[in-house]
Structure 1
Amino acid sequence: MLFPVHYFYCLMSKYQELPHKSDMELNNTIPDNVLERLSDAEKLVVELKEIIQQKDLQLLQQDEVLQEERKAADTKN
């Protein structure tokens, strides 16, 4: 049982010798074009949400008009 414990401590000492990168360093290694594409995608999502809201509003208005026309046609008959 001594071997696994010794092996573990050797691994840990090797791990501690490895350079560790902070989150800031990792963020700096992300290519600029990837960040630009992410930003563009986020903008597109916002635009699509706005378009969906507008289309929903248009559909609601069209539905109201159709219901009014249907009521008017029903009252004529």
Structure 2
Amino acid sequence: ICQRLIALEEPLNALDAKAGDGDTGSTVATGARSILERIDALPLADRAATAAAIGDTLGTSMGGSSGVLLSIFFT
């Protein structure tokens, strides 16, 4: 999923540029890269703990409202 989100960075930016500031793809890709950088430290055997760790990662790595909302969603 992270790799796919990174690959969609430019198309998501283009879509966002039609209604916003055009940075959604970059923001999402940054969050995906942050998760991949920490993948070995995620408690993958525990789904709830993994979701909470992803929420923490997204809350600190992504900017704007997207990061906050995804952090809340995962935690």
State TM-score, norm by structure 1.
0.27
Tell which has more relative contact order, 1 or 2 (C-alpha 8 A, sep 6+): 2
State TM-score, norm by structure 2.
0.27
Q: Which has the larger radius of gyration?
A: 1
Greater percentage in helix: 1
